[in-house]
Structure 1
Amino acid sequence: MKLKVVASAGTLESSDIQVIIEPCDNGVSVELESTVKAQFGEQIENVIRETLKALNVENAKVFANDKGAIDPVIKSRVETAIYRSAQCNDYKWM
């Protein structure tokens, strides 16, 4: 999926994550700030990268500010930011 514009999803509330994604031309970079980075930073970044890969995003700059979100929340916020950035209107809700 090709990203077109800067987009975001999520909040800075407890147990959530704010994800800002923007297009770039040189692969994927992830910048993570988290209140639980020491314990779960690697897992959070893995979820972000796996979600990007699952949606075929090859070039993206991702900034994530985590406040203790669980994996399904991280995944949904990244997916939402990707669809918003790609300006995709044909998302199929399950």
Structure 2
Amino acid sequence: MVIDKPARAGTLESSDIYIMVQPNQGQGIEIQLDSIVLKQFGKQIENVMRQTLKDLEIEDIKIIANDRGALDYTIRARLETAINRAN
């Protein structure tokens, strides 16, 4: 799957995550994560994002995420929604 245009999903409410995706043609996967729980769960959040991208067969994407304590299933849902909006 290829990202054609920028898109976003989510909110900045508590227990949610705001995700913006952008095309990153030929540059691979780039993740910029800001989170209130970055020290505790930053690697887990990034792992959920990378697994979601792998499942969707996306290799070139830039993700800008602002997390407010979202659970794994919320992170995955927001990322999938943003990607679907970008196509």
Band the TM-score falls in, shorter-chain normalisation: over 0.9
**Pairing 1:43-82 to 2, within 5 Å after superposition:** 43-82=44-83
User: What's the offset of the Cα at 1:64?
Assistant: 0.5
Q: How many residues align structurally?
A: 86
Question: 3-state SS of the aligned residue for 1:74?
Answer: helix
Q: C-alpha deviations, 1:27-55, integer Å up to 9, x for none? A: 00000000000000000000011111110
Unaligned runs of 5+ in 1: 87-94
Residue 22 of structure 1: CA displacement? 0.4
Segments ≥4 residues shifted beyond 6 Å: none
Q: Which residue of the partner structure matches residue 18 of structure 1?
A: 18
CA distance in 1, matches of 2:42, 2:48: 10
Q: What TM-score do the two structures reach when normalised by structure 1? A: 0.90
Look at both structures and tell me which one has the larger radius of gyration over its CA atoms. Answer: 1
Query: For residues 76 and 84 of structure 1, what CA distance do their matches in structure 2 show?
Result: 12
| Whole-angstrom CA distance in 1 between matches of 2:55 and 2:23 | 17
Whole-Å Cα distance in 2 between the matches of residues 53 and 7 of structure 1? 19
Q: Distance in 1 between matches of 2:34 and 2:43?
A: 12
Once the 2 structures are TM-superposed, how far is the Cα of residue 61 of structure 1 from its aligned partner? 0.3
Q: Which residue of 1 aligns with 2:43?
A: 42
Aligned residue for 2:8?
Answer: 8
Q: What corresponds to 1:28 in structure 2? A: 29
Structure 2 length as normaliser, TM-score?
Answer: 0.97
CA drift of 1:67 comes to 0.0
SS state at 1:75 partner: helix
- 1:56 is paired with a residue whose SS is coil
